[in-house]
């Protein structure tokens, strides 16, 4: 009897100490080591790929943004409005559409394909898009442009979705079509090794170049 | 299509060396890195008072696993409750509420990683590290340790020694998970995953608004999240966010890191069983082992046998067949697009893009979805709630099966349960006592196997029934119609299979959902592990039976096919009615 009690105590002691030791190694040492190594080898990426224009941080390379001006390229719809908000003088924060900003988040509305709210949202977006882009035919709007991404932070649209916006951007920005096409091309990435992934256009990078060409920043 | 095939071929190549390395660790064999790791492990053993050479029988092993996990749960729970302290908390996150803490801690200890909170607003960096990252390592190591003990039982070198749990836990953490994590973590940072301790950054956009961008030790969590088949994201939207998964290369790294170790586990199994056979032959004939093995058992030298071991190969093949079937259905379904959106005039030529990222498209999304649920990781690179009905049925089905590679180790153990069931059914058909791996399968093993196989559907279906039968459960459903049932089913399938992905629309941070899913995760994990160790313990004690003309060979292609059928038939018998009411009904109405 005494022997078995001793065994249980010894087992528990091992369990407690090994837990604490592994917690320190895996939970503290490992992340600190990786932070140190990354800061040394890849300082820019470790810091979140922030983009600075004229000394001011305007975004991060891989985090999408919402754009509303006609002369900018538009991103995909986002349930979290890409965490973009404005602040009034009382410090109240609102999304750009006027609803309250609840703080940082990510995700989608999680509408099932059969959910009527999904079709309503898409229908409204189609009408709004066609109004602002009169030259585009309804059936030419690419799928990705009016469907929400999973993260609500998708930095990309497909090259087709960039293409259908070009005429609007040209008209609203006053830049030549060639310039706009050139900017889109500069920020289009192909597939990895020509096989993996999809072709993407980085919306934020396109808009920074547009803003620079227009002399806005 | 091409990229999916290439991704899988690359996997089949990479899994072999990893499998060989893991086999060396599991079998306690010499590896090139021993001089370093022996010292590290030595220090840990000394501090903790562990005597690695002291073997345990299956009961002691299971008890050690349960005690250690209990201690980890206790410690982790306390940290979650006091996380509001100013240590590693630049974003000023508050403490976590009781039922949510309960759910979270069970979720991470059981390798499930179901999240009823959102990382960016619910956890401080201290919790992300000391609780989440820590648990991602040790829950994976615990599962793997159980599996290694289980294989030792089946390979049966001794009558009762299945190894030392503490030594297995430490060895797997230091020799497999940590080194892989450091290399993989750096690769992720190289591609643009943040790794820092600074608070969230607020920037002024070029349109004059503000944007808040999440920061933190993301890469460290990200790599072990996949390597340990954990799946809980740093941020709410998990690996679909460009912060956790910015490029196609990170997507591939994350994909492979969740696929490699479960596959390696099957190889470890195949090789350890082969070792035992080889030793038996050697003992009998007294000849040189290799020679005797080759001649006595009359095995043609085969490349696949060398890679996976004979018994491992048929298991691997069966898992592979189910995986490819599921993947094809998911890819096909998503490529068809959503007819409801086509009706309002939105072209569906790209497939169903709602809830998916442009950089991954349909192909990588379908691949990731099938992988994360087959390998029971639970990380997502697209939102599963928005998948087309049949596309969403595949992840659900694979969690219900819970045998397609499966999470760290436990998938293999589950598949062995089905293998035992398969030899039993075949044994009935040919009128012989069933044998598996040279041991007779008798009443006790069959009872335990049946119990083990029945627990999983029981948890899923009983809790789902409870949820749709109570107001508290119904309140969580956010999508109308048949999809609502799918949301409930998915949540419990994910919990019981210790997967952790979700149909995220479900409003699940309530007392009801926190407690019920917590229980499903707990029983889904520990009941199965204990029963499986008991089966191994029971088989160990038996004598090996000699092969005869009537022995059913379990290392053949036909056995792999039989295994696939047994798995599908069992799934159809248990789950077809609910699947018909959920995803299948939704599909029929959508395409009507």
Q: Do A45 and B169 lie within an 8 Å CB cutoff?
A: no
Q: Do A15 and B67 lie within an 8 Å CB cutoff?
A: yes
Per-residue pLDDT at B299 exceeds 50: no
- Look at A93-107, B72-86, B282-296 and tell me which has the smallest mean pLDDT: B282-296
| DSSP annotation of B239 | G
Task: Name every chain B residue with its beta carbon within 8 A of the beta carbon of A82.
Answer: 211
Per-residue pLDDT at A1 exceeds 70: no
What pLDDT score was predicted for residue B306? Answer: 72
Q: Which of B68, B130, B181 sits opposite A18 (nearest CB)?
A: B68
CB atoms within 10 A of CB B15: 23
- Looking at the fold, whether B241 and B315 belong to one and the same domain comes out as no
| DSSP annotation of B45 | H
Q: Which of B211, B243, B248 sits opposite A59 (nearest CB)?
A: B211
Average pLDDT for A186-208: 94
Q: Do B170 and A18 lie within an 8 Å CB cutoff?
A: yes
Q: What is the pLDDT of residues B201-244, one digit of tens each?
A: 999 999 999 999 999 999 999 999 999 988 888 998 999 999 99
Determine contact: B253 vs chain A, CB below 8 A. no
Query: CB burial class (10 A; 0-12, 13-18, 19+) of residue B296?
Result: middle
Residue B298: pLDDT band (50, 70, 90) is: very low
Q: Which of A30, A64, A113 sits opposite B386 (nearest CB)?
A: A113
In a mutational test of the B interface, the residue from A39, A143, A160, A203 whose CB has the highest number of chain B CBs within 10 Å is: A143
What pLDDT score was predicted for residue B330? Answer: 96
Using alpha carbons, select from A22, A85, A165, A209 the residue that is nearest to residue B43.
A22
What pLDDT score was predicted for residue B284? Answer: 65
Residue of chain B with shortest Cα separation from A17: B48
Using alpha carbons, select from B26, B445, B557, B439 the residue that is nearest to residue B269.
B26
Helix, strand or coil for residue B541? coil
What pLDDT score was predicted for residue A7? Answer: 82
Determine contact: B343 vs chain A, CB below 8 A. yes
Average pLDDT for B164-186: 94
B438-443 long-range contacts, CB within 8 A, separation 24+: B438/B277, B438/B544, B438/B545, B438/B547, B439/B154, B439/B156, B439/B539, B439/B542, B439/B544, B439/B545, B440/B542, B440/B545
CA B472-B474-B478 angle, to 5 degrees, is: 125
- Looking at the fold, whether B301 and B420 belong to one and the same domain comes out as yes
Please state, for a pLDDT cut of 70, what percent of chain A lies above it: 100
Q: Is the pTM of this model over 0.90?
A: yes
What pLDDT score was predicted for residue B531? Answer: 92
Residue of chain B with shortest Cα separation from A63: B242
Q: Do A45 and B189 lie within an 8 Å CB cutoff?
A: yes
Per-residue pLDDT at B277 exceeds 80: no
- Looking at the fold, whether B453 and B580 belong to one and the same domain comes out as yes
Q: How far is B531 from chain A (nearest CA, A)?
A: 21
Q: How far is B477 from chain A (nearest CA, A)?
A: 11
Per-residue pLDDT at B297 exceeds 80: no
What pLDDT score was predicted for residue B335? Answer: 94
Cβ–Cβ pairs < 8 A, chains A and B: 389
Q: What is the pLDDT of residues B48-69, one digit of tens each?
A: 888 888 889 899 999 999 999 9
Among B205, B233, B264, identify where a domain stops: B264
d(CA B478, CA A174): 45
Per-residue pLDDT at A206 exceeds 90: yes
Q: Higher pLDDT residue, B323 or B273? A: B323
Per-residue pLDDT at B393 exceeds 80: yes
- Looking at the fold, whether B283 and B159 belong to one and the same domain comes out as no
Determine contact: B368 vs chain A, CB below 8 A. no
Task: Name every chain B residue with its beta carbon within 8 A of the beta carbon of A126.
Answer: 344-346
Residue B400: pLDDT band (50, 70, 90) is: very high
Per-residue pLDDT at B308 exceeds 90: no
Beta bridge partners of A202: A156
Among B232, B264, B296, identify where a domain stops: B264
User: What are the C-alpha distances in Å from B549 to residues B206, B277, B460, B552?
Assistant: 78, 18, 42, 8
Beta strand pairing call for A156-157 and A200-202: antiparallel
In what side-by-side order are the strands of the sheet with B201-204?
A93-95, A84-87, B210-213, B201-204
In a mutational test of the B interface, the residue from A74, A87, A103, A106 whose CB has the highest number of chain B CBs within 10 Å is: A106
- Looking at the fold, whether B210 and B352 belong to one and the same domain comes out as no
Based on the structure, what is the number of domains in chain B? Answer: 2
Q: Are A213 and A179 in contact (CB under 8 A)?
A: yes
Q: Which domain holds residue B103?
A: 2-264
Q: Which of A25, A142, A150 sits opposite B237 (nearest CB)?
A: A150
What pLDDT score was predicted for residue B246? Answer: 94
d(CA B541, CA B536): 9
Task: Name every chain A residue with its beta carbon within 8 A of the beta carbon of B129.
Answer: 27-28, 31
What pLDDT score was predicted for residue B302? Answer: 65
Mean pLDDT of the residues in chain B: 89
d(CA B118, CA A106): 8
Domain extent listing, chain A: 2-45, 49-214
Using alpha carbons, select from B223, B146, B203, B189 the residue that is nearest to residue A63.
B203
- Looking at the fold, whether B296 and B318 belong to one and the same domain comes out as yes
Q: What is the pLDDT of residues A171-181, one digit of tens each?
A: 999 999 999 99
- Looking at the fold, whether B331 and B193 belong to one and the same domain comes out as no
- Looking at the fold, whether B253 and B279 belong to one and the same domain comes out as no
Q: Are B434 and B579 in contact (CB under 8 A)?
A: no
Residue A11: pLDDT band (50, 70, 90) is: confident
Q: What is the pLDDT of residues B13-31, one digit of tens each?
A: 999 999 999 999 888 888 8
Task: Name every chain B residue with its beta carbon within 8 A of the beta carbon of A39.
Answer: 195-196
Q: Are B144 and B532 in contact (CB under 8 A)?
A: no
> Tokens 């749990």 label which residue?
B165
Per-residue pLDDT at A49 exceeds 70: yes
Q: Which of A17, A85, A110 sits opposite B385 (nearest CB)?
A: A110
Query: CB burial class (10 A; 0-12, 13-18, 19+) of residue B398?
Result: buried
Return the HEC string of chain A: CHHHHHHHHHHHHHHHHHHHHHHHHHHHHHHHHHHHHHHHHCHHHHCCCEEEECCEEEEECCCCCCCCCCCCCCCCCCCCHHHEEEECCCCCEEECCCCECCCCCCCCCCCCCCCHHHHHHHHHHHHHHHHHCCCCCHHHCCHHHHCCCCCCCCCEECHHHHHCCHHHHHHHHCCCHHHHHHHHHHCEECCECCCECCCEEEHHHHHHHHHHHHCCC
Q: Which residues contact B432 (CB under 8 A, 6 or more apart)?
A: B550, B551, B552
Phi-psi region of B286 (alpha: psi -120 to 50; beta: other; left: phi over 0): left
Residue of chain B with shortest Cα separation from A16: B71
Among B244, B264, B284, identify where a domain stops: B264
Q: Which of A20, A46, A59 sits opposite B194 (nearest CB)?
A: A46
Q: Do B210 and A85 lie within an 8 Å CB cutoff?
A: yes
In a mutational test of the A interface, the residue from B50, B355, B591 whose CB has the highest number of chain A CBs within 10 Å is: B355
Per-residue pLDDT at B290 exceeds 80: no
Average pLDDT for B332-355: 92
- Looking at the fold, whether B277 and B329 belong to one and the same domain comes out as yes
Residue B301: pLDDT band (50, 70, 90) is: low
Average pLDDT for B257-280: 85
The tokens of B232 are what?
A: 């809980």
Q: What is the pLDDT of residues B427-467, one digit of tens each?
A: 888 888 888 888 888 889 999 999 999 999 999 999 999 99
Q: Are B440 and B343 in contact (CB under 8 A)?
A: no
Query: Which secondary-structure segment (H or E) carries B212?
Result: strand B210-213
Please state, for a pLDDT cut of 70, what percent of chain B lies above it: 96
Q: Which residues contact B458 (CB under 8 A, 6 or more apart)?
A: none
- Looking at the fold, whether B101 and B225 belong to one and the same domain comes out as yes
d(CA B536, CA B533): 5
Q: Are B243 and B232 in contact (CB under 8 A)?
A: no
Q: Do B340 and A118 lie within an 8 Å CB cutoff?
A: yes
Task: Name every chain B residue with its beta carbon within 8 A of the beta carbon of A105.
Answer: 118, 120-121, 236
The tokens of B264 are what?
A: 């390696």
- Looking at the fold, whether B255 and B400 belong to one and the same domain comes out as no
- Looking at the fold, whether B377 and B421 belong to one and the same domain comes out as yes
Q: Which of B75, B248, B505 sits opposite A19 (nearest CB)?
A: B75
Average pLDDT for B294-306: 57
């Amino acid at each position: 009897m005494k022997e078995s009690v001793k065994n249980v105590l010894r087992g528990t002691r091992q369990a407690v100490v090994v837990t604490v030791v592994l917690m320190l190694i895996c939970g503290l040492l490992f992340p600190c080591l990786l932070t140190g190594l990354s800061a040394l080898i890849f300082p820019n990426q470790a810091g979140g790929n922030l983009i600075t224009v004229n000394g001011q941080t305007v975004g991060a390379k891989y985090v999408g943004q919402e754009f509303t001006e006609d002369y900018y390229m538009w991103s995909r719809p986002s349930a979290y409005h890409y965490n973009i908000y404005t602040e009034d003088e009382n410090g109240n924060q609102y999304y750009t559409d006027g609803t309250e900003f609840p703080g940082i988040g990510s995700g989608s509305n999680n509408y099932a394909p059969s959910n009527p709210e999904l079709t309503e949202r898409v229908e409204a977006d189609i009408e709004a898009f066609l109004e602002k882009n009169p030259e585009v035919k309804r059936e030419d709007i690419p799928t990705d442009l009016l469907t929400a991404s999973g993260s609500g932070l998708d930095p990309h649209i497909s090259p087709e979705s960039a293409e259908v916006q070009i005429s609007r951007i040209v008209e609203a920005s006053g830049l030549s079509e060639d310039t706009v096409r050139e900017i889109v091309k500069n920020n289009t990435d192909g597939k990895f090794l020509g096989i993996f992934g999809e072709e993407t256009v980085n919306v934020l990078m396109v808009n920074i170049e547009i803003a620079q060409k227009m002399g806005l920043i | 299509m091409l990229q999916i095939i290439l991704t899988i071929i690359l996997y089949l190549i990479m899994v072999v060396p990893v499998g060989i390395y893991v086999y060396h660790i599991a079998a306690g064999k010499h590896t090139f890195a021993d001089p370093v790791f022996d010292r590290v492990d030595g220090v840990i053993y000394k501090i903790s008072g562990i005597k690695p050479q002291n073997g345990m029988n299956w009961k002691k092993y299971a008890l050690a696993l349960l005690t250690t996990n209990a201690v980890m749960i206790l410690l982790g729970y306390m940290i979650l409750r006091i996380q509001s302290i100013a240590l590693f908390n630049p974003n000023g996150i508050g403490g976590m509420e009781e039922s949510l803490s309960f759910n979270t801690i069970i979720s991470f200890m059981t390798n499930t990683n179901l999240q009823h909170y959102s990382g960016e607003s619910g956890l401080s960096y201290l919790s992300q590290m000391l609780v989440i990252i820590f648990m991602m390592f040790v829950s994976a190591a615990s599962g793997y340790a159980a599996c290694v003990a289980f294989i030792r039982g089946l390979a049966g070198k001794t009558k009762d020694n299945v190894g030392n749990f503490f030594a297995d836990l430490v060895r797997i953490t230091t020799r497999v998970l940590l080194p892989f994590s450091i290399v993989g973590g750096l690769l992720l940072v190289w591609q643009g995953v943040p790794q820092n301790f600074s608070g969230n950054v607020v920037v002024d956009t070029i349109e004059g608004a503000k944007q808040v961008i999440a920061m933190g030790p993301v890469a460290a969590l990200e790599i072990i999240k996949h390597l340990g088949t954990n799946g809980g994201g740093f941020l709410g939207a998990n690996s679909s966010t460009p912060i956790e998964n910015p490029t196609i290369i990170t997507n591939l790294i994350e994909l492979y890191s969740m696929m490699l170790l479960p596959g390696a586990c099957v190889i470890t199994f195949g090789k350890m069983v082969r070792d035992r056979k080889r030793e038996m032959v050697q003992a009998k004939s007294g000849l040189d082992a290799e020679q005797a093995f080759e001649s006595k058992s009359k095995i043609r030298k085969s490349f696949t046998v060398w890679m996976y071991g004979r018994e491992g190969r048929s298991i691997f093949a069966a898992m592979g067949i189910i995986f490819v079937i599921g993947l094809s259905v998911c890819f096909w379904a998503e490529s068809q697009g959503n007819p409801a959106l086509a009706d309002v005039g939105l072209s569906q030529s790209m497939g169903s893009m709602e809830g998916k990222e442009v950089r991954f498209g349909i192909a990588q999304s379908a691949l990731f979805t099938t992988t994360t649920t087959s390998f029971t990781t639970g990380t997502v690179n697209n939102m599963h709630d928005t998948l087309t009905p049949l596309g969403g049925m595949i992840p659900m089905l694979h969690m219900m099966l819970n045998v397609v590679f499966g999470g760290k180790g436990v998938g293999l153990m589950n598949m062995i349960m089905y293998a035992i069931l398969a030899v039993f059914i075949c044994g009935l058909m040919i009128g012989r006592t069933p044998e598996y791996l040279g041991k007779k399968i008798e009443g006790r093993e069959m009872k335990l196997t049946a119990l083990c196989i029945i627990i999983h559907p029981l948890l899923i279906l009983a809790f789902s029934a409870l949820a749709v039968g109570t107001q508290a459960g119904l309140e969580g459903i956010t999508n109308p119609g048949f999809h609502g049932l799918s949301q409930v089913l998915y949540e419990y399938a994910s919990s019981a299979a210790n997967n952790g992905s979700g149909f995220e629309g479900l409003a699940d941070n309530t007392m009801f959902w926190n407690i019920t899913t917590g229980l499903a995760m707990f029983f889904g994990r520990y009941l199965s592990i204990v029963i499986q160790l008991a089966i191994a313990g029971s088989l160990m004690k038996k004598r090996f039976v000699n092969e005869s003309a009537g022995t059913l060979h379990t290392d053949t292609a036909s056995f792999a096919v039989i295994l696939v059928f047994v798995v599908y038939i069992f799934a159809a018998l248990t789950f077809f009615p609910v699947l018909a009411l959920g995803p299948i009904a939704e599909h029929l109405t959508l395409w009507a």
